[in-house]
Amino acid sequence: MQTADDFRFTAHTLLLALDESTLNMMKMVSSSSMGGVAWKSAVLHQQDSFANLHSHLGLPEALELMQQGRFR
């Protein structure tokens, strides 16, 4: 079982990946680059990033680990 700090570090890393993939999509929208292979790839990457974070936060021990790291 991981520590609260390990859990928090992994969550932070996954949030950064999600933020990066979302920002990439936002840039594509603002430059009217939606559609095509690059767009589909960006969408899949963003969906994967979200799913990875969601899976991490849904671990059976997640609630306990989040509560342990609560007051740091």
Q: Residues 1-40: pLDDT tens digits? A: 688 899 999 999 999 999 999 999 999 999 999 999 999 9
> What is the residue extent of each domain of the chain?
4-68
pTM for the model: 0.85
Q: Are 68 and 8 in contact (CB under 8 A)?
A: no
Q: Is 40 exposed, middle or buried (0-12, 13-18, 19+ CB in 10 A)?
A: exposed
